[in-house]
Amino acid sequence: MNQKWQVTGVDLAWGNKMPDAIATGALVKDGERWILSHIKVIYEHCSVTEISTLLLNLNGRDLSHIIAIDAPLICQNNTGSRPVDKECSSLYRKYEAGCHPVNLNLVNRPIEIADRLREQGVIISKNWQDHGSRAIEVYPHPAMIHWFGIEKTIKYKKGRVSEKKAAFGEYQTHLKNWLEKSPFQIKIDEDVSTLLDAPWNKAAEDQLDAFFCLLIACWEVIYEGKQSRTLGNNETGFIVIPKS
């Protein structure tokens, strides 16, 4: 297995009005321990071409690269929901972590970005691979249920501003506690340190979610996909969810 990786997490905007958040870093195995370092967080309004190019150019050293994206990457249905959305909702509804409906009328931008990545050689697949570039769809809410050991999702995306601020602080506390016992070493730089203590606003929320997706990408690498639950398939859509 490769010992050096570029790992990236993306909180991808479904439409063209909101910025995209990207967190990327280097994941290297040193002896028996994996170390995540050189973390960079980007928050920009990007066109489809711009973000596709940006994601491809992050891997300047031609390492194996995994990109964990919180957005649909495969969708065949014009209306309703994908089979994977229904499966995920069935499993996680009791935790209030069901999926939003995904169809081609709702997700043109993510699917177009996925197509651009695929054209440039990025493999979009549920299947583990230890070489080349691979993109996976992830969904942070179920991951938080597993990693944080909570019974319901943290409501930092809904409600009044005061409620979102309080819930975002809860999210940050759970995440900091998880980082202390993470199965890999994480060298926290200023970008991430700031996000872990920032008061809620939409930019901080999106960037911390991108960092969370980055952690899912690292988890997928260090366990070679064996500690992830992958729902769905490569034809109609899949979601990778890390186990606790």
What's the CATH number where 47 sits? 3.30.420
Query: What is the DSSP secondary-structure string of 150-209?
Result: -SS---SSSS-HHHHHHHHHHHHHHHHHHHHT-SSEE---HHHHHHHHPPP-HHHHHHHH
What pLDDT is recorded for position 59? 77
Cβ atoms of 208 and 172 closer than 8 Å = yes
Residues with pLDDT less than 70, the chain:
60-61
Position 170 scores a pLDDT of: 98
According to the model, what pLDDT value does residue 244 have?
Answer: 81
pLDDT tens for 191-232 read: 999 999 999 999 999 999 999 999 999 999 999 999 999 999
Global confidence as pTM: 0.97
Nearest CA among 169, 232, 186, 208 for reference residue 35? 186
Confidence (pLDDT) at 62 = 76
Domain assignment of residue 95, given as a range:
4-242
* Residue 186 CB contacts under 8 Å (≥ 6 apart), including other chains: 35, 36, 37, 39, 179
What is the pLDDT at residue 61?
67
Q: Which amino acid is located at 224 in the chain?
A: E
How many helices and strands in the chain, by DSSP H and E? 7, 9
Q: Are 144 and 78 in contact (CB under 8 A)?
A: no
Q: Look at the chain and report how many structural domains it folds into.
A: 1
